Chains A and B, each alone.
Chain A
Amino acid sequence: MTTQSISESPLRKIYGRLGLKDAVKSRRHLSDYLFKIILGMAIIIIVSPFFFVLFQVASIGFEQVFGTGPGQGIEFLFTFPGAGLEGGIRNAFVGTVELILLASAVGIPLSVFGAVYINEYTQPGKLRAIIEFTSDVLAGIPSIVFGAFGFAFLVDYLHIGMGIVAGSLTLAFMMIPTVLRTTQEALRAVPMSLREASLALGATKWSTTWNVTLRSAFPGVITGILLAIGRVMGETAPLIFTAGNSLSVPTEITGPGSWVASMPYTIWAYISDPRQYLQEKAHGTALALMMMVLAIDVIANLISRKVTRRLV
């Protein structure tokens, strides 16, 4: 009964939760307690930048994305910019969606099939080591280099010209190392005995790979795709020299009609502009972009969980 009344005291409760009650017992208890505090502080330091960024962006851009006034909220995303860049960011929103869709359509199958080929159809050896080393290096290359490469190779050398094709291909190049390596890791984690079980039933190599190996690796593959999309979605540098910019959406596949705006590019352009309302629009765009990345994250997690539940 006495313990009951002690634990009822609110101050005691807080002490109890923090473990302070134990901390004063002895030196060992105290050092144990201090270490817990240090770990907790590390976590706070790790997590806080995310909230600072979110707060900073939201404090200026919130009205643009969630406001109910004219040109705010959903209208902000679905109105084209007008004179003096007043209006919404439909050009950038649609442009980013199109760029990401095209880049994914090229980059994801290429890298998934590439990973399948390396892991399932070649033997460990020099070739595999070279490919893995190259993609690791590629994954660490600064995005501006991809932009320069996209410009030199796609825009100039192949005469594709700036626009949605060159832009999305450059983004696809950037996605490949991430998706390739994560897919490889996921495939490697699938036990050999599963492949053998399928082959021993008379399955061909391909149907084993498709129905058993890739399906077992699916959650890992999704994670890689998610990482890659999240990364390229916010890239400005690869698009500066390759995608052009536009106040409208692309109407053609090549030429100036194919120039396309993107959200990161728009953020960069608006934030370098002294006009106050463009600062607000830049932050609004940033907030919208962050939410899009978050939404993709959530959707991919749901898909992955659903497939895993069906499989495992």
Chain B
Amino acid sequence: MSNFEHHIEVHNLSTWFGKKHILKDITCYFKDNTITAIMGPSGCGKSTLLRSLNRLNDLVPSFRHTGIVLFRGEDIYGPGFSVYDLRTHIGMVFQKPNPFPMSVRDNITYGPKLHGTKDEDELEKIVETSLKKAALWDEVKDDLDHPAPNLSGGQQQRLCIARALSVDPPVLLMDEPVSALDPISATKIEELIVELKNDYTIILVTHNVQQAFRVSDQSAFLYLGELVEFDETKRILEAPTDSRTEAFITGRIG
């Protein structure tokens, strides 16, 4: 375990929305080229933890936090740390597919263009590689100028993955990326996530134990804002040390 450079470390993170205490003293880390699943029942703070990592919680004005989140050793909430740089290094895929109301091509080039890539050939290359990585290229290569919202739900979600990959972030956050999709599309995206592990550090929020078992290397189990267990997924699921984890795995809570 020690031969990994931790891309993201969370130390004693507590968060509040207004007076509501969401995360309670979370400490964990996310290793390179692994998939970490954040599990737990609804409302336990899974998404809040994920959104703390790319500072998307900052959009909510009542958000407060204590503790430290380190990205490559730097405090992302520290003064002088650019949130825009952070987000180009940490991509995100959302629960519901949310392609921009533009063409397939423009969805992919949006990010690179923002960060100054103007060369048409280079953009074309980014479109192709991103879509290939997201296993969507073969399905849309002839319709790159078609509106993205016309794609099917599963295709839209893979387009969103491609869009996140377009700026080549080392870390990918995924917030229940398949829960809004049909089983076939979900399976496709799960396979894709496992494949992406070779090049990316992936942090996956899920409330589906089977999914966590299928795709993740290590898991964090959250319950009511507390980090109950954090270890290799196999160990947690085969021999949970906490009764709450066991209750969740066996389906008694959640």
Contact = CB atoms under 8 A, between A and B. Distances in A.
Interface of A: 123, 191, 193-194, 196-204, 207, 211-212, 215-216, 309-312
A202 B111 contact: yes
B160 A202 contact: no
Contacts of B166: 201
Interface stretch (B5-13, B21-29, B90-98, B231-239): B90-98
B91 A197 contact: no
A311 B163 CA distance: 16
Interface in B165-218: 166-167
B56 interface: yes
Contacts of A212: 100
Contacts of A197: 92, 94, 98, 100, 160, 163
Given A204-B84, A207-B114, A312-B149, A198 B56 contact: no
B114 A123 contact: no
B41 interface: no
Interface in B79-94: 84-88, 91-92, 94
Contacts of B86: 202
Interface of B: 54, 56, 59, 61, 84-88, 91-92, 94, 96, 98, 100-103, 110-111, 114-115, 147, 149, 160, 163-164, 166-167
Most buried by A among B54, B59, B100: B100
A312 B147 contact: yes
Most buried by B among A196, A201, A211, A216: A201
B212 to A, nearest CB: 23
Given A193-B98, A311-B102, A201 B149 contact: no
A204 B166 CA distance: 17
B110 A201 contact: yes
5 contacts: A194-B98, A201-B164, A203-B111, A215-B102, A311-B102
Contacts of B114: 201-203, 207
Contacts of A310: 102-103
A196 B110 CA distance: 14
B3 to A, nearest CB: 30
B87 A200 contact: yes
Contact of B87 (A123, A194, A202, A311): A202
Given A200-B54, A311-B101, 13 more contacts: A191-B98, A193-B94, A193-B96, A193-B98, A196-B92, A196-B94, A197-B98, A198-B100, A200-B91, A201-B110, A201-B163, A203-B114, A311-B102
A310 B102 CA distance: 7
A309 B183 CA distance: 31
B90 to A, nearest CB: 8
A130 to B, nearest CB: 19
Nearest to A197: B98
B110 A211 contact: yes
A123 B62 CA distance: 11
Contact of A200 (B85, B102, B164): B164
A110 B115 CA distance: 29
B147 A201 contact: no
B143 to A, nearest CB: 15
Nearest to B61: A123
A198 B164 CA distance: 10
Contacts of A191: 98
A256 to B, nearest CB: 51
A309 B102 CA distance: 9
Contacts of A311: 101-102, 147
A23 to B, nearest CB: 43
A199 B87 contact: yes
Contacts of A198: 100, 110
A103 B78 CA distance: 47
A85 to B, nearest CB: 52
Contacts of B102: 215, 310-311
A191 B100 CA distance: 10
Contacts of A123: 61
Contacts of A202: 84-88, 111, 114-115, 167
Contact of B101 (A193, A203, A207, A216): A216
Most buried by A among B98, B115, B166: B98
Contacts of B87: 199-202
Most buried by B among A193, A202, A204: A202
A201 B56 contact: no
Contacts of B94: 193, 196-197
Contacts of A201: 87-88, 91, 110-111, 114, 163-164, 166-167
A88 to B, nearest CB: 46
A303 B56 CA distance: 35
A181 B87 CA distance: 33
A188 B167 CA distance: 28
A196 B94 CA distance: 9
Nearest to A308: B101
B171 to A, nearest CB: 12
A300 to B, nearest CB: 19
